[in-house]
Amino acid sequence: MIKTDVIIIGGGATGCGIARDLALRGVHHYLVEKGDFASGATGACHGLLHSGARYAVKDAEAALECIGENSILRKIAQKCVEVTGGLFVRLPGDSKRYRDSFLKNCEEVGISTQVLSPSRALDLVPELNPAIEEAVSVPDCSIDPFRLCMLNAVTSRKKGGGILIHHKVTEIIREKGRCVGVKVQDKFTSQTKEIRAKIIINASGAWGDIIARMGGSEVPMTLSKGSLIISNHRLTNMVINRLRPPSDGDIIVPNEAVCLAGTTSIQVDSPDAIEVDAKEVDIVATQAEQMIPRFGTTRLIRAYTGVRPLLKADDSDNRNISRGFKIIDHKNGMFSIMGGKLSTYRLMAEKTVDAVVDQFGVRAHCKTADLPLDGQDELSGYPLSKRLKKMDNIVCECELVDRDSVENAINNLGIQYIGDIQHRTRLGMGPCQGGFCTYRALGIMQEAGRLTPSESIQILKGFLQRRFRGIKPALWGDQLREEQLVESIYLGILNMGHKP
Ligand SMILES: Cc1cc2nc3c(=O)[nH]c(=O)nc-3n(C[C@H](O)[C@H](O)[C@H](O)COP(=O)(O)OP(=O)(O)OC[C@H]3O[C@@H](n4cnc5c(N)ncnc54)[C@H](O)[C@@H]3O)c2cc1C
């Protein structure tokens, strides 16, 4: 049995942020996550570090939180944030009155804006629709959620915290009505472990109510599915938003070699087994094309989806639900942190840790806004242009990942699963979506003695099936041809369809 002071359930941005904050205040803790880091909404999001402008008109509090955290994260997380800047573009027919309230509210919240003529905006982003009537620049950025989680976890590990990824909480242990620990199951070995603590923090995002119920309480939530598409080119170097009330498909975010466009907002009952609907792909692609016409002809390489853990509200339109957050003390040894955004994860962690440290008589103040994230120097080249400098022994051509980086992930970070290599190196995240590099990475894992040949075939089959679920809804034109090529590599050359 493991003993600690605090158990954190969930290895998304919120859970990892809490682990870092506890570590810096000297509180011992264990973080447990059923998948890899960022397997929930964090890894399925748009990767937009909001300036807050999107919320300025309807949700001033969330906007204020975003702009505050935006300037903090630019300083402390330089290897995760690309300072792209953002444009809100007004197209013919978009309300001028909304534009006026937008500018007024941004000013009130303290978000800097500049109104740009169409020609100035087209100078900045040549692929923009030339019919735009104007654009407003804001300090939006692109952020890598995978790196963000892992770098937050580095501090926890350095200060002696325990991190168990691929461990699912299957039970909350209760004694005399109090939550005193958890039982977790290892995904690879199926072994169970018991961890006991004084406090449990439920940072499990959309799974929050499921976990709270295991502990005898509940958390009121609205679950909102959002789907996104990935283009095979970086069609813009700035974040592009539509200057109108938030609605479907109105944001495009550059993300290294590709662009992410989204999203939809559909209420769902469960965070599990959600799929992208082909209709959502149509909606998002059509909207993206209105802002950047080349979205209509460019190859879409995949669609993906995640579930927003929103605070419960009666409003039937999920977009009207506040993006603010709430900390619930269940008064039974468990706290839940709900709602919020990736952009405000650090603040959410700070307020949660403030709420629990009293229980340990710890007076230390939060330092997470002042200290840069640990481990940034050791990261492989970032952004993509830096990786070009060491074009040697490349395993993944799309994202320029070299053999050293893959070997480092396997040998020094103890990675056992191909998806985890991708999250740490970006292997397979570019236009070919792993078609050419996944089998190479598995070969390296075999050479390192991590897998037998038959295990690697099973893993490869599972990986290809999962990827195909995201590729299927965006399968036409050039992407269909690309998939046929991938199919002939795996079924033809590698004979993967062969039944022994
Ligand atoms: C489509 C979409 C787009 C978005 N875009 C943006 C954006 O651009 N910018 C932004 O700021 N925000 C964005 N958001 C919101 C943001 O992604 C979330 O608010 C944030 O990532 C939530 O982080 P979290 O750590 O609280 O939850 P999650 O990331 O969901 O983490 C919860 C974790 O708990 C784990 N877990 C669940 N059950 C168990 C269990 N039994 N045992 C162990 N672990 C468990 C899950 O595997 C998961 O990893 C978006 C959300 C969606 C869905």
Weakest mean pLDDT among 47-56, 72-81, 176-185, 486-495: 486-495
Tokens coding 141: 């950025």
2-41+146-220+322-360 belongs to CATH 3.20.20.150: no
- Across the range 337-341, mean pLDDT stands at 93
Cα 42 to averaged position of ligand 1 atoms, centre (Å): 4
Please indicate whether the domains covering 2-41+146-220+322-360 and 81-142+223-310 agree at the CATH topology level: no
> For the residues of 171-208, what is the DSSP string, one character each?
EEEEETTEEEEEEEEETTT--EEEEE-SEEEE--GGGH
CATH architecture assigned to 81-142+223-310: 2-Layer Sandwich (3.30)
The answer to whether residue 228 scores a pLDDT higher than 80 is: yes
User: Residues 125-151: pLDDT tens digits?
Assistant: 999 999 999 999 999 999 999 999 999
Task: Please tell me the predicted confidence (pLDDT) of residue 382.
Answer: 61
Weakest mean pLDDT among 54-58, 98-102, 238-242, 382-386: 382-386
Q: What residues have CB less than 8 Å from 117, skipping those under 6 apart?
A: 134
For the Cβ of 169 lying below 6 angstroms from any atom of ligand 1, the answer is yes
Task: Please tell me the predicted confidence (pLDDT) of residue 320.
Answer: 59
For the Cβ of 69 lying below 6 angstroms from any atom of ligand 1, the answer is no
For the Cβ of 231 lying below 6 angstroms from any atom of ligand 1, the answer is no
Cα 12 to averaged position of ligand 1 atoms, centre (Å): 6
What pTM was estimated for this model as a whole? 0.89
- % of the chain with per-residue pLDDT over 70: 95
- Across the range 45-60, mean pLDDT stands at 95
- Closest residue by CA, ligand 1 atom 50: 45
- Closest residue by CA, ligand 1 atom 15: 341
More confident position, 306 or 479: 306
Q: What residues have CB less than 8 Å from 462, skipping those under 6 apart?
A: none
For the Cβ of 336 lying below 6 angstroms from any atom of ligand 1, the answer is no
Q: Where are the domains of the chain?
A: 2-41+146-220+322-360, 81-142+223-310, 384-493
pLDDT band at 436 (very low <50, low <70, confident <90, very high): confident
Structure-derived torsion over alpha carbons of residues 88, 312, 275, 253, reported in degrees to the nearest 10 = 20
Task: Please tell me the predicted confidence (pLDDT) of residue 315.
Answer: 60
The minimum-distance atom of ligand 1 relative to the CA of 341 is 19
Weakest mean pLDDT among 60-64, 112-116, 147-151, 392-396: 392-396
Buried b / exposed e along 186-195 (16+ C-beta atoms within 10 A): eeeeeeeeeb
For the Cβ of 342 lying below 6 angstroms from any atom of ligand 1, the answer is yes
Weakest mean pLDDT among 85-99, 307-321, 429-443, 455-469: 307-321
The answer to whether residue 317 scores a pLDDT higher than 70 is: no
For the Cβ of 149 lying below 6 angstroms from any atom of ligand 1, the answer is no
The answer to whether residue 379 scores a pLDDT higher than 80 is: no
- Across the range 323-346, mean pLDDT stands at 93
For the Cβ of 490 lying below 6 angstroms from any atom of ligand 1, the answer is no
- Closest residue by CA, ligand 1 atom 3: 45
- Closest residue by CA, ligand 1 atom 48: 40
Q: What is the rounded average pLDDT for all residues in the chain?
A: 92
Helix (H) or strand (E) holding 268: strand 266-268
